[in-house]
Amino acid sequence: MRVLVTGGAGFIGSQIVRALSAHGHEPVVYDVLADPASDVRDPDAVRRALTGVDAVCHQAAMVGLGVGFSDAAEYVSRNDLGTAVLLTGMADAGVRRLVLAGSMVVYGEGRYVCERHGVVRPGPRAVADLDAGRFEPPCPVCGADLSPGLVAEDAPVDPRNVYATTKLAQEHLAAAWARATGGSAVSLRYHNVYGPGMPRDTPYAGVASFFRSALARGEAPRVFEDGRQRRDFVHVRDVAAANVAALEASSAEGALVAYNTGSGDPHTVGEMARALAAAYGGPEPVVTGEYRLGDVRHITADSARLRGELGWKAEVGFEEGMTEFAGAGLRGE
C-alpha cells in the first residue's frame, strides 16, 4: 500500500514510517516538521498529498495536557479542524482506509470498583482534596476507597481536559466519515508512549520525556502527587507495529473501531521514574506532592481486543524499554 503518514516526521510517526517500509509498504511523509507547507488544515496541500494514496495513517496532532485553557483554540484547530480537512480530502479522493492516532485520555479516569457498589465512575477530583494530598478518587456513592482496574473500549468516555476533548472529537469525525463514505476507520487509543526520539523540554511531551530531560540536565525527576498513579507505558516500536497491523487488517466498512493500545503491564509513575533514573545512573526521583488539575489518577486499559482481533502484542518489556530509553537521545538534544 501507498500510505500517507501525517505527522510522519514526529516521534511516533517516524517509527510508523520505518515499520511500514519494513513491511513492504510505501510510506509518504506529510509533516510540517519536514515541510512547513504540509499542514493538515490546508485543503489544497492535503488534496495534492492524497494523490495515488491507498490509506492514511493520521498521527499529526498537538499533544499533551498543555499549559492551560489559553491554548484551547490551537488544540481544536490543529486536531479537529485538521482532521476534518483531511477526511474531506480523503472523501473526495476516494481513499477509504484510515488509522487514527487515538488516545486513552478519552476515558478520563479508568475503571474503579467499590466493595459495596461495584463498578463506579468517580467524577473529577476536588481541588481541596488534591491540596490536602488526597489523590485517590473516592466512591461517588459512599465515599469509600476504590480499587483501580483495566478499562475496556466499551467504557463510557469522559474527557477531562482540552486535549482529551479534541481526541474524542477526532474519533467522532472519523466515524462520521466512515458512515458517509463506506470507509474503514480504526482508532488506536495509545497509552503512555515512550522511547527513542521523544521531544525534550516541552510542556506538551509525555511524563517519560520530562523525567529523561531532567536526568540529562543532571537533575532528579520530579514526580507529581505521591507517585502511585498507575499508567501503561508502551514502547513506540510496539505502537508502530500496531499501526501496521491495523492498516493491513480487514476492518469493518462504514464504521470506526477503537482499540486500546497498551503494553498490558501497568506501572506507577514513581516506578517508571525510579527505573529510568537507575538505568540512566542519575539522581533518585523526588516525589513533590504537586499536581496538575487536568490529570487523572489511574488509567490502564485492557488491550485484549487488539491482541485478539489484529494479532498484535507488545514485544518490548518495561525494564528493557526503560534501559534503552535511558541511553537513547531525545529529539532536540
Asked if 51 and 93 count as a contact pair (C-beta separation under 8 A), the reply is: yes
Task: Answer yes or no: 163 catalytic.
Answer: yes
Rounded to whole angstroms, what are the CA distances from 39 to 4, 52, 195, 311? 13, 19, 25, 33
225-75-18 Cα angle (round to 5)? 90
Asked if 184 and 178 count as a contact pair (C-beta separation under 8 A), the reply is: yes
17-22-23 Cα angle (round to 5)? 100
Cβ neighbours around 154 below 10 Å, total:
7
- CA max distance for the chain: 58
Query: Which of 30, 107, 163, 190 is the catalytic position?
Result: 163
CB-based contacts of 34, cutoff 8 Å, min separation 6: 8, 9
Q: The C-alpha cell of 133 is what?
A: 494530598
Backbone angles phi, psi at 286, to 5 degrees: -110, 125
Task: Using the Cα atoms of residue 146, residue 150, residue 154 and residue 156 in order, give the sign of their dihedral.
Answer: positive
The residues carrying an active-site annotation are 163
